[in-house]
Amino acid sequence: MKKAWGGRFSKSPEQWIEEFGASISFDKELVFEDIEGSIAHVKMLGKTNIIPLVESEKIADGLEKLKAKAEDGKLEYSASEEDIHLNLEKMLIKEIGAVGGKLHTGRSRNDQVATDMHLYLKKQVEIIIAHINELQTALVDQANKNVETVFPGYTHLQRAQPVSFAHHLLAYFWMLERDKERFTESLKRIDISPLGASALAGTTFPIDRHYAAELLGFSSVYENSMDAVSDRDFIVEFLSNAALTITHLSRLAEEFILWSSKEFNYIELDDTYATGSSIMPQKKNPDMAELIRGKSGRVIGNLMSMLTVLKGLPLTYNKDMQEDKEGMFDTVHTIIGSLKIFTGMIATMSVKTDSMESAVHQDFSNATELADYLAAKGIPFREAHEIVGKLVLSCINKNCYLLDLRLPELKEACAEIEEDVFTILSPVEAVKRRNSYGGTGFEQVKKQLDKAQQLL
Ligand code: ARG
C-alpha cells in the first residue's frame, strides 16, 4: 500500500517489519485526541489563510465524520498505515478527497503525537483525581463509623499501642490527599500545547499557535519547538505520581490481606472482592487486594521503563519515544481500576469490632500506659520503663496480661501504683486519653475527620 511518506522510497518493508514498527494496535486509544488536535490545527490553518477557509471547513467536517464513526466503533485501522495519525489522514482523504492532504500543512507527526498525549493525560489525570476523591470518601465514611472502634496499632508488625480504627484508616486518607495534590500540581505541566512546533524547528507558515492552543483548551504553549517535541517529562511525572499512589494502595492491600486472615481476623471483605479455591472448599481469598498489591509492580515498572527510554536520548523526536505509550495507557487503566476496586472494597467490608476488642485485651499494648502513669507520679521515665518491662516479663512467665494482675502484685512492683491504675490500663482509655494534636484520642480523631471531610 502507498505510504504517506513513500516518495523517497523504492521498496516497501515486509509485512512483519511493518507490524513491528507500527503503533496503531495501541495508539488507537488516542483517536479522539488526534481528531480534536487535527480540527484545531485545520481551523487555525483556515483562520490564518494558510489554506482557504472553505477547505479548512471541509476538512473539519470530514474530521467530524470520522469522529462520529469512531464513536460508533466503525473505524478500521491498518498496520500498514503505521499509527493513528496516518490511519486517520488516510481515512480523511478517502472521505473528502485530495483536499484532506492539506491537513498536515505546517505540522509534523512529532508535534501531533505530543499534542495527543497532552490532551489524553489532561483528561485522564482529572478522572484519576475524581477517583482518588471517591476512595477518600469511602475511607471517611468507614472512619466515621469507627471512631471508637479500638484495635491494636503496630510497629515492626508487633503489637504497639491500641488505636482508633478510624485513625488507622484516615492515615490513608492523608496519603491519598498528597497523591491528589501531586496529580493536580502536575496538570500545570500537562496543560501546555506543543502543537505548531512541527517536526522540531517550527514552520515557515504564518501559523498561530496560541489560537490552536486556545481551541484545545490549553493554558499555554511550549516556548521552544525543540523542547515541545522532545519533552516526555509530563509522562514521567504522571507515571511517578501513579507509582506512588499504587504504592500506597499496595500497603493498604497488604493490611487488608493480613486483617482478613484468621490470625488477625479484623475485617471480612465482601464476597464480590474475593474468590474461592478450586480444591479447598473452605477458602475465601482476598484476590482483589492481592492483585492490586501485585499490579503495583507493573506500575512501578512502567515508570522505570519510561525513564530508561529517555535516558541518553538525543533531541528531538526519536522513534524510541513511541515506547512512551503502552506503559502510560497501562498505568492509566491500572490505577483507575485499582482505585475503583478499593473504593468498593472499603465501602462494603465488615469490621469485626468484637474480634478487635478481644485482641487489645490479649496483649501488652497498654504497657506504655503504665509507664506514663508512673512517670506522671514523678518517677523518671527511664525507671518507669524498667519497672513495667519487668512486670511484663513476669506476666509472660505467669501466662497473663497486665489487667489480670491485682493491686498488691502491682504495688510489689512499684509502691506508687493505686487503684486508679485499672482505668488507665483499659485499652479504650488508652486510646481516649491520647489527645495530643493529631493523636488517636477520640476527640482528635473527630477533629481530623472534620478536616478530612472539608477536603472532599
Ligand atoms: N507513532 C509515532 C509515535 O508514537 C508517531 C510519531 C512519529 N513521528 C515520526 N517522525 N516517525 O511516536
Q: How far is CA 420 from the centre of its chain?
A: 48
Q: How far apart are CA 336 and CA 333, in angstroms?
A: 5
Q: How far apart are CA 448 and CA 173, in angstroms?
A: 10
- Residue 203: CB within 6 Å of ligand 1? no
How does residue 232 score in pLDDT terms, banded at 50, 70 and 90? Answer: very high
The mean pLDDT of 167-193, rounded to a whole number, is 98
> Any bridge partners for residue 150, and if so which?
164
pLDDT tens track for 62-99: 999 999 999 999 999 999 999 999 999 999 999 999 99
Active site residue 156: yes
Last residue of a domain, which of 300, 327, 358? 358
The atom of ligand 1 lying closest to the CA of 23 is 1
- Residue 104: CB within 6 Å of ligand 1? no
113 C-alpha vs ligand 1 centroid, how far in Å?
7
Which DSSP string do the residues of 114-174 spell out, in sequence order? HHHHHHHHHHHHHHHHHHHHHHHHHHHHHHHHTTT-EEEEEETTEEEEEEEHHHHHHHHHH
What is the residue type of 343? T
Catalytic member of 12, 219, 220, 277: 277
Catalytic member of 156, 278, 350, 436: 156
Structural domain boundaries, residue 254:
128-146+168-202+225-358
Which of 211, 127, 136, 133 has its CA nearest to residue 171?
136
> Any bridge partners for residue 275, and if so which?
285
- Residue 36: CB within 6 Å of ligand 1? no
Where do the H-state alpha helices sit in 319-441? 325-348, 353-360, 367-376, 381-398, 407-413, 421-425, 427-432
pLDDT tens track for 256-295: 999 999 999 999 999 999 999 898 889 899 999 999 999 9
The atom of ligand 1 lying closest to the CA of 22 is 1
Is the predicted pLDDT of residue 233 greater than 80, yes or no? Answer: yes
Pairing of strands 150-155, 158-164: antiparallel
CA dihedral 130, 133, 137, 143 (to 10 degrees): 160
- Phi, psi torsion values for 408, nearest 5 degrees: -55, -40
Asked, for residue 220, whether it belongs to a domain, the answer is no
Asked, for residue 194, whether it belongs to a domain, the answer is yes
Last residue of a domain, which of 343, 358, 373? 358
Q: Which three cell numbers stand for residue 298?
A: 507493573
Is the predicted pLDDT of residue 1 greater than 80, yes or no? Answer: no
CATH number for position 44: 1.10.275.10
Last residue of a domain, which of 327, 358, 389? 358
421 and 382 Cβ atoms separated by less than 8 Å: no
314 in the same domain as 293 = yes
Q: How far apart are CA 354 and CA 30, in angstroms?
A: 51
314 and 251 Cβ atoms separated by less than 8 Å: no
Report the domain count for the chain.
Answer: 3
- Residue 23: CB within 6 Å of ligand 1? yes
- Residue 84: CB within 6 Å of ligand 1? no
394 in the same domain as 338 = no
Q: Is ipTM strictly over 0.95?
A: yes
Residue of 30, 110, 230, 326 best suited for mutating to test ligand 1, as the one with most atoms within 8 Å of CB: 110
132 in the same domain as 42 = no
Active site residue 210: no
Is the predicted pLDDT of residue 215 greater than 70, yes or no? Answer: yes
pLDDT tens track for 105-115: 999 999 999 99
397 in the same domain as 272 = no
pLDDT tens track for 432-454: 999 999 999 999 999 999 999 99
Which of 198, 35, 227, 243 has its CA nearest to residue 119?
35
444 and 165 Cβ atoms separated by less than 8 Å: no
321 in the same domain as 182 = yes
Asked, for residue 175, whether it belongs to a domain, the answer is yes
- Residue 27: CB within 6 Å of ligand 1? yes
pLDDT tens track for 288-334: 999 999 999 999 999 999 999 999 999 999 999 999 999 999 999 99
How does residue 12 score in pLDDT terms, banded at 50, 70 and 90? Answer: confident
Which of 190, 74, 67 has its CA nearest to residue 128?
190
Give the C-alpha distances (Å, rounded to integers) separating 270 from 174, 192, 274, 285, 348. Answer: 25, 43, 7, 11, 6
20 C-alpha vs ligand 1 centroid, how far in Å?
13
